Amino acid sequence: MSSTRQIVVGDAALGGVALGGGAPVVVQSMLNIPTSDAPGCLAQIDILAEAGCELIRLALPDTASLPAFERICAESPLPVIADIHFDFRLAIAAAELGAAKLRINPGNIADLDLVDAIIDAAGSVGIPIRIGVNAGSLAPEFALRSELSLTEKLVASAESFVEHFEERDFTNIVVSAKAHDVRTTVEVYRLLAADLPQVPLHLGVTEAGTAFTGTVKSAAALGALLLDGIGDTIRVSLTADPVEELRVAWQLLATLGLRRRGPELVSCPTCGRCQVDLIALACEVEERLSFVRKPLTVAVMGCIVNGPGEAASADVGVACGAGKGAIFSAGKILYTVPESTIVDALMEEIDRY
């Protein structure tokens, strides 16, 4: 939890989502369905909300999408963030049609007169703006300066926009400055946190890659920053189903001890002592745990060496032997079952816990 200025996304009277100022790190994602398809977008929002999404962002590419956007804002169970590029008029329309927050990019709406029009529109309805800087679309006055490193360009671009917003007495802002490189991302956010301690930060690694690569890169960058106490909201960007983004985000927060939404799975690596199909067991348990909302620790251990002794702190677990498993709780063995019923027995104990 950071000590930045707190902003609220969505109607505070209806349970708006707080960012910064000591609030828990907020998890968000982005729709991958065309905004013009309102029923499809709303159906996906419901799925993502069930998976733990707290804020949802969607692209607003053209005026033809505005009627659907208005319906989505009105019917969404989550606050809706309008992602705007190039056309400042779309940002103004989004504010008027119910957006809970705007995201604009200094790299493609750089004219400050147009930015001011967006600020006025957001201010008139009381919604925040994310200043979203990307390495691939920097403000022109910084992008072309060869004496600056990419880190310096990202920081300067973000900070110049923050300065302009605050000079106009608009402080209802969030900042992001994303690159696809882990080291650059960490350097940038550490500098922003030091230079702009009052501004909530949206963390992410842009264009991180597929589910595997993107998870590794996001965990490395976001984990380092969150452990430093930096960051108020996160979006794990994956070339995958957005549900996977949420699974990774919540697992990351749980692993860092910041937030828990469901169980934590502890499982040992396989070795020559293992006499069951531990990989299949652990994967099945992990899949079935995705539907459990109890914040407990579940251990799947391959042999008596690692469990239950090493997993004694687990709430529920199994220590496997030759074609069988000893179900235990808080380090005490309850009973033994054959390999074929280990997962069912484990889930029954979790239900009873």
The amino acid at residue 187 is E
User: What single letter denotes the amino acid at residue 336?
Assistant: T
Phi-psi region of 52 (alpha: psi -120 to 50; beta: other; left: phi over 0): left
**Phi, then psi, of 351 in degrees rounded to 5:** -60, -35
pLDDT at 306: 65
Instruction: Write down the number of H helices and E strands in the chain.
Output: 11, 15
Both tokens assigned to 194: 């030091």
- The whole-angstrom separation of Cα 129 and Cα 4 is 15
Q: Which two tokens stand for residue 107?
A: 């790299």
Q: What is the pLDDT of residue 1?
A: 54
In the sheet that holds 80-83, the strands lie side by side as 173-178, 129-134, 101-104, 80-83, 55-59, 26-30, 233-234, 202-203
- Helix then strand then coil, in percent of the chain rounded to 5, is 40, 20, 40
For 92, the token pair is 């103004």
Residues ≥6 apart with Cβ < 8 Å to 112: 164
Which among 108, 208, 226 has a CA at the least distance from the CA of 157?
108
Q: Which tokens in the block code for residue 162?
A: 């923050």
Q: Is 23 helix (H, G, I), strand (E, B) or coil?
A: coil
Domain 7-255, CATH? 3.20.20.20
> Residue 246: how many CB atoms within 10 A of its CB?
25
End-to-end CA distance of the chain: 30
- Domain spans of the chain, in order of start: 7-255, 264-352
User: Tens place of pLDDT for every residue, the chain, 353 residues?
Assistant: 568 999 999 987 777 999 999 999 999 999 999 999 999 999 999 999 999 999 999 999 999 999 999 999 999 999 999 999 999 999 999 999 999 999 999 788 878 999 999 999 999 999 999 999 988 888 778 888 889 999 999 999 999 999 999 999 999 999 999 999 999 999 999 999 999 999 999 999 998 899 999 999 999 999 999 999 999 999 999 999 999 999 999 999 999 999 998 899 999 888 888 888 899 999 999 999 988 988 899 999 988 666 667 777 889 999 998 889 999 988 888 999 999 999 999 999 999 88
DSSP structure class, residue 109 = S
The class of domain 264-352 in CATH terms is alpha beta
Task: Give the integer Cα–Cα distance in Å for 48 and 39.
Answer: 14
Q: How is residue 179 written in tokens?
A: 């690159």
Tell me the CB-side half-sphere exposure of residue 148, using CA atoms within 13 A: 16
What the block records as the tokens of 197 is 């301690």
Predicted local distance difference test score (pLDDT) of residue 317: 92
What's the rounded Cα separation, in Å, for the pair 201 and 173? 9
Is 293 buried (19+), middle (13-18) or exposed (0-12) by CB count in 10 A? exposed
Strand partners, 101: 81
Cis-peptide, bond into residue 77, ω within 30° of zero: no
Q: Of how many residues is the chain composed? A: 353
Other Cβ atoms closer than 10 A to 245: 29
Report d(CA 263, CA 289) in Å as an integer: 7
- Using DSSP's 3-state secondary structure scheme, residue 267 falls into strand
User: What contacts 287, CB < 8 A, 6 or more positions away?
Assistant: none
Give the pLDDT score at 308.
67
- At residue 17, φ and ψ (nearest 5 deg) are -95, 120
Q: Of 200, 194, 195, nearest to 20 (Cα)?
A: 200
pTM of the model: 0.92
Burial, 269: exposed, middle or buried (Cβ in 10 Å; 0-12, 13-18, 19+)? exposed
Residue 56 to residue 74: CA distance in whole angstroms: 13
